[in-house]
Amino acid sequence: MLSAPDHVDRRYNIRRLSGRHCKNHPRCDIFFVLGTSDSDQVDASILKEAREFGDLLVENFGDAYSVSLSQDAASMSILMSF
């Protein structure tokens, strides 16, 4: 799923709601694709979240809707590795 770096609450809700459905399906994984932020505080929060949940893919592109094609390509690259 594409996600903005500062949408922590939204990712928690998706994990809570969708994650419980994925537990019953071995081929169901949820991960979030994020770009980098301009804030060291947000980046530190993302790093902590990534360690806790292991479901963030953070690529080195600025996070904006204009780079969503890069986010899509990164997502597909990861999916192809499974």
List, for residues 31-42, the tens digit of each pLDDT value. Answer: 888 877 888 898
Cα–Cα distances (Å) from 38 to 4, 10, 15, 58, 77, in that order, read 12, 20, 25, 13, 25
Is the C-alpha dihedral spanning 45, 46, 47, 48 positive or negative?
positive
**Which pLDDT does position 52 carry in this prediction?**
93
pLDDT digit string (tens) for 41-74? 988 999 899 999 988 888 776 655 555 555 566 6
